[in-house]
Amino acid sequence: MLWESVLAALGSLGGGVTQLTVPHIFMIAIGCALLYLGIARGIEPLLFVPIGFGAILVNIPLAGLMGEEGFLRTLYNMGIITELFPILIFIGIGAMTDFAPLLENPKILLLGAAGQFGIFLTLLLALGLGYTELESLAIGIIGACDGPTAIFVTSTYAPHLLGSVSVAAYSYMSLVPIIQPPIMRALTTEHEKKITMHTVHKSVSRNTKILFPILVTLFTALVAPMGVPLMGPLMLGNLMKESGVVERLANTSANEIANIVTLLLGLTIGATMEAGQFLNVRTLGIFALGFVAITLDTAMGVLLGKLMCFASGGKINPLIGAAGISAFPMSARVVQTVGFQYNKKSHLLMHAMGANTGGQIGSVMAAAIMLSIVSGMGLV
């Protein structure tokens, strides 16, 4: 009896090895690769470290972490199914963002709109490749270059794609300094690259900064009410920052809450990268389409920048159009770097920051409109 008991107990050990399959090993390797990118290369470490580790955990056989009573499932149900995590992150982002460069020159919001073209063109491409309507929506939203927006839309309409869409979105956002410059150089003339823009003067009152988030929230509520869960928290965070009377709440949102939720969000995204769901040709397609989305965003932003340059009589440097995406502030810095390479007197950073924050609002507005259209079409 004792011998049988010992044998049975020994048999239960090492189950992780006997149940391990090649796809599991491959996904654990991908998790390790994300850890390498985050830790050794410093690429989006706040997300790649928890995502990578979550991917490793979920691909350990028999651990059951995404099973009904697994802690990753609990976190997933708590924060992803309810859409709570991206919403809380948005409050933090709003509390960290200074919209003053955008408010100095509101016309730059149009560049934020152009920077969302990639979403819709990629949606069409995804449909052409055979993805369903809702899957195409989730893939197209990679073009928003906004993690919480991508997570919000994907978890609502195509939760089985959450792992691949999130990793694609954050990977390409970190690759903006590599993806954007060749497109910016190819689409602008030598003269356009060297255009110097006027110095940004302070022209925004405190009242404007306080009323701006309220205005945007109400505007979104009227135009695309389904998007208020995205725009509202972003603007709440910004209102807390600009009002100056709830500094503790703004600081907590921007720091403690944002950090805690980032950790939990990363883990749960990693938890969706189970071998059976992640390893297929469709995931490769998502990564390819995500790249297309960001290149189209950049191209359309620069092209609209050229149009604005023409309309303004050469006062606007088209390069700032590339910053009309939501990858803040990386894209603005890329514009400054590229512009400076061609003209040492050109300081495009503040203008690019305006376009970048415009892209932030543009991406959320585009998602809000998409959500409202989908609801109106009765697809959900």
Q: How far apart are CA 329 and CA 220, in angstroms?
A: 24
| Residue from 43, 129, 133, 221 binding other proteins (CB under 8 A) | 133
What is the Cα–Cα distance from 67 to 14, expressed in whole angstroms?
20
Q: Does 117 bind other proteins (CB under 8 A)?
A: yes
Quick one: which segment of 63-71, 114-122, 162-170, 339-347 binds other proteins (CB under 8 A)?
Answer: 114-122
Among 216, 257, 322, 332, binds other proteins (CB under 8 A): 216
Q: What are the distances in angstroms from CA 286 to CA 139, 150, 167, 325, 358?
A: 6, 13, 10, 19, 26
The total of other beta-carbon atoms located within 10 Å of residue 307's CB is 14
- CB 131, CB 285: distance < 8 Å: yes
| Structural contact between residues 194 and 342, judged by C-beta atoms closer than 8 angstroms | yes
Give the Cα separation of 39 and 42 in Å (integer): 5
Query: With 0-12 CB in 10 A as exposed, 13-18 as middle and 19+ as buried, what is 69?
Result: exposed
CA–CA separation, 230 and 87 (whole Å): 6
Q: For residues 354-373, which are near other proteins according to CB under 8 A?
A: 358, 361-362, 365-366, 369-370, 373
Q: Which of 41, 219, 255, 314 binds other proteins (CB under 8 A)?
A: 219
Q: Tell whether residue 212 is a contact of other proteins (CB under 8 A).
A: yes
**Measuring CA to CA, how many Å separate 279 from each of 24, 203, 259, 274, 282?**
10, 52, 29, 8, 8
Please select the residue that binds other proteins; options are 41, 191, 206, 315, rule is CB under 8 A: 206
Q: Which is nearer to other proteins, 38 or 140 (CB)?
A: 140
Among 219, 238, 239, CA closest to 227? 219
Q: Binding other proteins by CB under 8 A: which of 65, 88, 93, 110?
A: 110
| Closest approach of other proteins to the CB of residue 321, in Å | 14
- What is the residue whose two structure tokens read 């239960």? 12
**Side chain identity at residue 4, one-letter code:** E
Cβ distance to other proteins smaller for residue 116 or 171 = 116
Could you tell me the smallest distance in angstroms from the CB atom of residue 139 to other proteins?
A: 12
In the complex, the smallest distance separating the C-beta of residue 293 from other proteins, rounded to whole angstroms, is 13
Binding flag, residue 238, other proteins (CB under 8 A)? no
CB of 178 to other proteins, least distance (A): 26
Interaction of residue 379 with other proteins, rule CB under 8 A: yes
Is residue 215 within the footprint of other proteins (CB under 8 A)? yes
Residue 363, CA atoms < 13 Å, CB-side half-sphere = 34
Sequence-distant (6+) residues with CB within 8 A of 17 are: none
Decide whether 120 or 291 has the Cβ nearer to other proteins: 120
* 25: amino acid identity, one letter: I
**Residue selected from 204, 228, 263, 288 as contacting other proteins according to rule CB under 8 A:** 204
Reduced to 3 states (helix: H, G, I; strand: E, B; else coil), residue 224 is coil
DSSP string, 106-130: GGGHHHHHHTTHHHHHHHHHHHHTT
Minimum gap (Å) between residue 331 Cβ and other proteins: 17
Of 123 and 334, the one with the shorter C-beta distance to other proteins is 123
Residue 292 lies near other proteins (rule: CB under 8 A): no
Q: Which of 201, 194, 199 is nearest to 318 (CA)?
A: 194
Which of 7, 40, 207, 248 binds other proteins (CB under 8 A)? It is: 207
Among 16, 106, 276, 314, binds other proteins (CB under 8 A): 106
CB of residue 312 vs other proteins: minimum separation in angstroms?
A: 14
98 makes contact with other proteins (CB under 8 A): no
Residues binding other proteins: number (CB under 8 A): 45
The amino acid at 244: G
The Cα 342–Cα 190 span in angstroms is 8
Among 12, 69, 202, 378, binds other proteins (CB under 8 A): 202
Chain residues in the site for other proteins (CB under 8 A) = 103, 106-110, 112-114, 116-117, 119-121, 123-124, 127, 133, 136-137, 202-208, 211-212, 215-216, 219, 223-224, 358, 361-362, 365-366, 369-370, 373-374, 377, 379
